[in-house]
Amino acid sequence: MSPPPASVTIAPSVLSADFSRLGEELAALAAAGADRVHWDVMDGVFVPNLTIGPPVIAACRPATDLPFEAHLMIVEPDRYVADYVEAGCSTVTVHVEACTHLHRTLSAVREAGARAGVALNPHTPVASIAHVVDLCDLVLVMTVNPGFGGQRYIATMEAKIAEVRALLDAAGSDADLEVDGGISARTIAGAASAGADTFVSGSAVFGHPDGLATAVDELRRAALGS
């Protein structure tokens, strides 16, 4: 177990937002104190769900100054990395399982001008990224199987979070250690204690009965142990 992080990044997933008024939702997220916007991009092939593409993200870019991160749950992500950077994403995350040439793909993200993120499905071992740590600005440990919001947090992933923390520390990497899936005020402390510092949350933010600001504040406090 790690001590609580000194600071945390809260990155709400707009997968749970009202898609008919995305611009307003983004402005509200900024007002609520969110740090970053997480875009869940699904292609209906890598995951059994279909969401949004670069034109929607580009159209929403003027709605807020918050950084955008794209979580690409798509096959052959190399084909689209530049499009998501052009749409305004300053971080682009690809899945280990979708990349035959992960080293090349992560390099391509940086060459396109974005921070490079790599995501691991629950079954994927940490060793799969051991030789690309120097190319990673963010490592995303999935705490659900990707594809849908509102799933149950897989607590056994905390051992993997701790393993990634150790890998990053040993490499002297300051990459973000992000978790995504089932993150709520109830589950976030476990992920933070295991070493995560960046937290994606969809349904717990947009479904909070007291609104976005309370949701973001509760998450931050719980992660910081305060």
Residue 54, helix vs strand vs coil: helix
Closest CA to 180 of 38, 23, 35: 38
Spatial contact of 129 and 121, defined as CB atoms under 8 Å apart: no
Residue 200, helix vs strand vs coil: strand
Build a one-symbol-per-residue string for 143-182: x at contacts with Zn ion by CB under 5 A, - elsewhere.
-------------------------------------x--
Residue 200 interacts with ligand DX5 (CB under 6 A)?
A: yes
Residue 223 interacts with ligand DX5 (CB under 6 A)?
A: no
40 is catalytic: yes
User: Beta-carbon neighbour count of residue 215 at 10 Å?
Assistant: 26
Residue 153 Cβ vs ligand DX5, minimum distance, rounded to whole Å: 8
180 is catalytic: yes
Spatial contact of 90 and 67, defined as CB atoms under 8 Å apart: yes
Contacting range for ligand DX5; rule: CB under 6 A; set: 26-34, 91-99, 159-167, 177-185? 177-185
Residue 10 Cβ vs ligand DX5, minimum distance, rounded to whole Å: 12
* Residues 100, 90: Cα–Cα separation, whole Å: 23
In single-letter form, the type of residue at position 185 comes to A
Closest CA to 115 of 47, 5, 198: 198
Q: Which distant-in-sequence residues (6+ apart) come within 8 Å of 149 by Cβ?
A: 13, 15, 16, 40, 202, 203
Contacting range for ligand DX5; rule: CB under 6 A; set: 20-28, 156-164, 176-184, 213-221? 176-184
* Residues 94, 185: Cα–Cα separation, whole Å: 27
Q: Which distant-in-sequence residues (6+ apart) come within 8 Å of 123 by Cβ?
A: none
The smaller minimum CB distance to Zn ion, of residues 158 and 180, is found at 180
Residue 106 interacts with ligand DX5 (CB under 6 A)?
A: no
Binding residue (CB under 6 A) for ligand DX5 from 117, 182, 190, 195: 182
Residue 73 Cβ vs Zn ion, minimum distance, rounded to whole Å: 7
Which position's Cβ is nearest ligand DX5?
202
Binding residue (CB under 5 A) for Zn ion from 40, 43, 158, 176: 40
Choose the one of ligand DX5, Zn ion, none that binds residue 203, judging by a C-beta under 5 to 8 angstroms depending on kind.
ligand DX5
Residue 40 interacts with ligand DX5 (CB under 6 A)?
A: yes
Residues that bind ligand DX5 (CB under 6 A): 13, 15-16, 38, 40, 71, 144, 146-147, 149-151, 180-183, 200-204
